[in-house]
Amino acid sequence: MKKRLFAFLICALILVPTLLFGCSSGSANGVKSYSDAKNGVVVVEERFGNGSDWLDVAAFGSGFFIGTPGEDVQYVLTNHHVISDYLALDAGKPVDIDLGDGVVLDGLKAYLRVYFDSEDYANAYIVAYDETKDIALLRIEKPTDKRIPLVLQKPTDDNVGDPVYVLGFPGIADDGDLIDPTSRWGLSDMSITSGTLSRLVTESGTGVRRIQTDASIQHGNSGGPMVTADGKVIGINTLTAISAEGIDIEKTNYAVSTVEVMELLDKNNIKYEKYDPNEVDVGLIILIAAIALVVIIAVVVIIVVVGKKSNKTAATAPMPEPAPVPPVEPRTPVNSDDSGFRVQGTSGALSGKRVYVSRSQPLVIGRDRDSCNLTVPEGTPGVSRQHCALSVKDGRLYIEDLGSSHGTFIAPGRKLAAKEPIELHAGDTFYIGSPKESFVIDVKRGQ
């Protein structure tokens, strides 16, 4: 027994760092690295037509889902300029467009679509946007499990110099003159480019907070996420500024900071997951406390058991029974139906009451005198009319709660499920309703 307890303690101590490592390195949405973040990215397309005939011209960019980890997603973040033509065409309402030379398109509508791959899409609608900040929030028709929500993180000066990764569907990847893709717009068609977070800037005149990077941002990347090495979104890919001097061309790439994104989401009461590297992980603290409690209990059990065995070996005489000493039963004729088990009240209305448990009939405890053979006075708090029953089977004593209102408990506080027999032994204590109505299990003494 001692060896098994020591083995349990060692296992518990080994389990602590294992669990802590697993919790600290995991992520609620399953994203552990920048490559995992692609599972939240989609294509956002503007399509134009009348429902049956479509114009050859279409515009597209990238976007990504936000929401609560573990739940289906419905909200997509992208750039305002990705959906600007949709807004210009009256946000999906029918319009007539004069193309000149007498050609008029009647009932033309703009459609927004979110593509999971080239054959699978959902219609999308605008929830909110900010043209100055170049961000837009879309909602698809119904929640989906085809993508996961990405977690947002506010970039700070501490992130300057860190690697960043740009995810999306750049237009050059679908240029048929350069490459003939076997599929389009699926997870395997997404591109990931890397670079460094160069600096955090505030745009002159507008006050928009942006991220400057040397990571390549191309047409089609617009609206996609810029993520950290562990897959947290810190910005929305938005634009490339090009400056020329003679024949030298310098490109500077920017993303909209998630600080601006969070303000838009908070304003519209949209749920999203936010990561703060400086925030205390309450769940991890609770786990540590729980594991520490298990280890402490194991140590206490070992000390108690080892102490009892030492005392038992050293003792020269049996220890006296603890008070109060149950009254000595009077000598009575042998009862063949007597199981040998005794139930004695230790507190409450039946304190001092001692009865035997029959081999053939259960001992029912409750307030109903007609159906109970150990009755508690009417008005006793917490005791039901038929509260619990004790019965003997194959020489073993069992207790069963009969669906009482306030429960039957085995000390120190284990509550019994209704109609579930639990074995009791001599010395076990139980109570009904509250600890005030307590009983102890004893055995027959003498004849």
Instruction: Domain ranges for the chain, please list them.
Output: 1-28+280-319, 29-272, 338-443
Element spanning 103, H or E: strand 103-117
Between β-strands 354-358 and 374-375, what pairing exists: parallel, antiparallel or unpaired?
Answer: unpaired
Between β-strands 414-415 and 388-393, what pairing exists: parallel, antiparallel or unpaired?
Answer: unpaired
The pTM (predicted TM-score) of the whole model is 0.56
Average pLDDT over residues 29-43: 91
Average pLDDT over residues 202-227: 88
Q: Decide: 400 and 389 in contact? Cβ < 8 Å.
A: yes
Give dist(CA 89, CA 57) in Å, integer. Answer: 14
Res. 26: pLDDT tops 70: no
- Would the CATH topology of 29-272 be identical to that of 338-443? no
User: What's the confidence (pLDDT) of residue 170?
Assistant: 80
Which DSSP string corresponds to 127-144? Answer: EEEETTTTEEEEEEEEEE
Q: How confident is the model at residue 300 (pLDDT cuts 50, 70, 90)?
A: confident
Share above pLDDT 90 across residues of the chain, in percent, rounded to a whole number: 51
> Which of 44-58, 152-166, 237-251, 317-331: highest mean pLDDT?
152-166
User: What's the confidence (pLDDT) of residue 286?
Assistant: 78
Share above pLDDT 70 across residues of the chain, in percent, rounded to a whole number: 74
Comparing 99-103, 338-342, 399-403, the range with the smallest average pLDDT is: 99-103
Three-state SS at 344: strand
Comparing 49-58, 118-127, 429-438, the range with the smallest average pLDDT is: 49-58
Give dist(CA 347, CA 349) in Å, integer. Answer: 7
- 338-443: which CATH number, 3.20.20.30, 3.20.20.300, 2.60.200.20, 2.60.120.10? 2.60.200.20
Q: Decide: 141 and 98 in contact? Cβ < 8 Å.
A: no
User: What's the confidence (pLDDT) of residue 131?
Assistant: 92
More confident residue, 264 or 50: 264
Q: Decide: 219 and 170 in contact? Cβ < 8 Å.
A: yes
* Range 347-381 burial, b when 16+ CB lie within 10 A, else e: bbbbeeeebbbbbeebbbbbbeeeebebbbeeebe
User: What's the confidence (pLDDT) of residue 172?
Assistant: 45
Average pLDDT over residues 172-183: 45
Res. 173: pLDDT tops 60: no
Q: Decide: 388 and 404 in contact? Cβ < 8 Å.
A: yes
- DSSP class of residue 131? T
- DSSP class of residue 173? G
pLDDT digits (tens, 9 = 90+) for 313-357: 555 555 555 556 555 555 545 678 899 999 999 999 999 899 999
pLDDT digits (tens, 9 = 90+) for 45-66: 888 777 666 665 567 889 999 9
Q: 């639990």: which residue's tokens?
A: 422
More confident residue, 193 or 301: 193
Give dist(CA 373, CA 249) in Å, integer. Answer: 98
- 29-272: which CATH number, 3.30.300.250, 3.40.710.10, 2.40.10.120, 2.40.50.100? 2.40.10.120
